[in-house]
A = this chain, B = another copy of it.
Amino acid sequence: MRFGFLVFDDLEELDLLGPWELIGVWADQDGGPSERLLIGKHTRGIRCAKGLYLTPDIALDAVGRLDALLVPGGQGSRPAARDPQILEFVRAHAARAPVLSVCTGALILAAAGLLDGRRATTHFASLERLAGNDGIHVVEQRYVRDGDIWTSAGISAGMDMTLAYIAAMAGVDAAGRVQRWAEYYPDGVRHGDPAIHADMPAYVQQR
């Protein structure tokens, strides 16, 4: 199994690297992906939104067939969503295998036409923007699967989506073993004045 991660300048680090970690833990287990690749438009280095410098493993025109593709968000998702080569790559991949987006990576999927007629979500500050696309049913969930298209809420939500994806692909016990090794048992604390969290999406309010 070859698992690809699209990278571009100004992507948000945790959008990419939360899932990267969990997929990497999965890869250390029986049945996990044999290959994980950072896929850039080119192979030159990219600078992420919070300053991290990353080096793609391969360019998108050289990568060949993938079994899954994850698309992160961040400020860089805006120019990426206007890049015909990136959109064509994502579209061609989606015809054959699952696509997962984190945060505003959903805007890239929307621009590629992958979310037409589907349920999808994104970072809370971009929900209205995503809903501005005709034919996308925007939901306020931590993540949502609609067929082979998975989208998650902002930044950290990609990790919850990734565990659910592993559960769907390899079974709940495989996901449980990844969760265990990554010690992904968050404390659930909400810091500060409750008013800070009062405008969060429905899934936050419902807990």
Contacts and interface: CB of A to CB of B under 8 A. Distances in A.
B179 A191 contact: yes
Nearest to A185: B204
Kindly name the residue among A153, A163, A185 whose own CB sees the greatest number of chain B CB atoms within 10 A: A185
Nearest to A36: B51
A44 interface: no
B154 A176 contact: no
A124 B183 contact: yes
B156 A176 contact: no
Could you say which interface size class chain A belongs to?
35 or more
Contact of A156 (B159, B166, B174, B188): B159
A66 to B, nearest CB: 16
A204 to B, nearest CB: 5
Contact of A175 (B153, B179, B191): B191
A52 B20 contact: yes
A173 interface: yes
A180 B156 contact: no
Given A51-B36, A160-B187, A204-B185, A21 B14 contact: yes
Contacts of A177: 192, 196
A176 to B, nearest CB: 2
25 contacts: A14-B17, A17-B52, A18-B18, A20-B50, A27-B50, A36-B50, A45-B55, A53-B55, A154-B181, A155-B183, A156-B183, A156-B184, A157-B183, A163-B189, A167-B192, A173-B191, A173-B193, A174-B192, A175-B191, A180-B196, A180-B197, A180-B200, A183-B200, A185-B200, A188-B188
A171 B176 CA distance: 34
A182 B156 contact: yes
Kindly name the residue among A52, A123, A157, A172 whose own CB sees the greatest number of chain B CB atoms within 10 A: A52
Q: Which 9 A-B pairs have the closest CB atoms?
A: A176-B192, A24-B50, A154-B183, A175-B191, A14-B21, A176-B196, A186-B186, A173-B192, A176-B191
A172 B156 contact: no
